[in-house]
Structure formats: structure tokens, C-alpha cells
Amino acid sequence: MNGLLLALAFVMGVVVPLQAAINHQLKLLIGGSPVLAALVSFAVGLVTLTIAALLSGQKWVGLTALPRAEWWMLSGGVLGALFVFGTTLLAPRLGVAVMLSLIIAGQVCASLLFDRYGWLGMPLKEINSWRLGGALLVVAGVLLVNLGDRIGK
């Protein structure tokens, strides 16, 4: 695999707790609403992506195909909004490490199923013993992050 892509994926992981912490501070500033903090975050994201699209010469004519999109093809925005809202709500309550360990475990488990069954057109990849072992190690990590301070007491 391309090392740059792997590094980008890692940096994306580093950004998630940063985003949760930033959105929590924004929530506190605007009166404690995680929904409004997520709204502001998405509005800034919309402006950012619009500028990126303009600067990169994207062909806006492609957007004319949107009326033919199935409803579920647009649900990524809903899921993204729920993710940002959820992290803004949960990070200060659970702690960033607990929240993200559970998110990562959920992502790994769901990802294995997407790979195995090729859901939504994803390329097929078998669940072999190495991948399953890795997923189990992630789950073990979640247990240690969540319960490790209680072990031995």
C-alpha cells in the first residue's frame, strides 16, 4: 500500500479527538448545545469544501445528476452529522479515549463485514484469521481502555 495513504489515514485518526475537543469548546461557547456546535462545524466544513472544490477545478456539472440519486446515497451527510453531534455530546461525558476506543471497535467490526460481503459496492476481502485476530485485539484494547483502571483493584 502507498505509505502516503497510510499516513493520511493515521492523521485522520489523530484529527478525530482534536475535532471532538474543539467542538466541545465551541459547544461551551455557544451555550451548551451539541446540536448547534455540530451545525456550526458543518457550516464551516461546507465553506471549506466549497473553497477546495473551486480551487481544485471540480466539474460542478456533475451535481446535475443528484436528482437521480437514491435516498440512501445522500445519507452520508446525515451519518456525518450524527457522528459530529455524537462526539460533541459524548467526549466530555465519557472521555475522549473511552469514546474513541468504542468508535474504533465499532468501525473495525463493521468494516470487516463490509469487506467480507462487499456491501454498497466495496471490494471483497475475506475475513482471515489474521484480520479476525486484529479485530479481537482491538476489542481487547477497548476493554483495557474502558476497564483497565478497575483491574487489580
44-60 residues labelled b (16+ CB within 10 A) or e (exposed)? eeeeeeeeeeeeeeeee
Taking the CA atoms of 99, 100, 105 and 109 in sequence, report the sign of the dihedral they define: positive
Q: How far apart are CA 23 and CA 42, in angstroms?
A: 11
Q: Which residues contact 81 (CB under 8 A, 6 or more apart)?
A: 38, 42
Tell me what pLDDT residue 149 has.
78
Sole residue written with cell 473511552: 98
Tell me what pLDDT residue 151 has.
78
* pLDDT digits (tens), the chain, 153 positions: 699 998 998 999 999 999 999 999 999 999 999 999 999 999 999 999 999 999 999 999 999 999 999 999 999 999 999 999 999 999 999 999 999 999 999 999 999 999 999 999 999 999 999 999 999 999 999 899 888 777 766
Closest by CA to 19, choosing from 1, 42, 3, 2, is 42
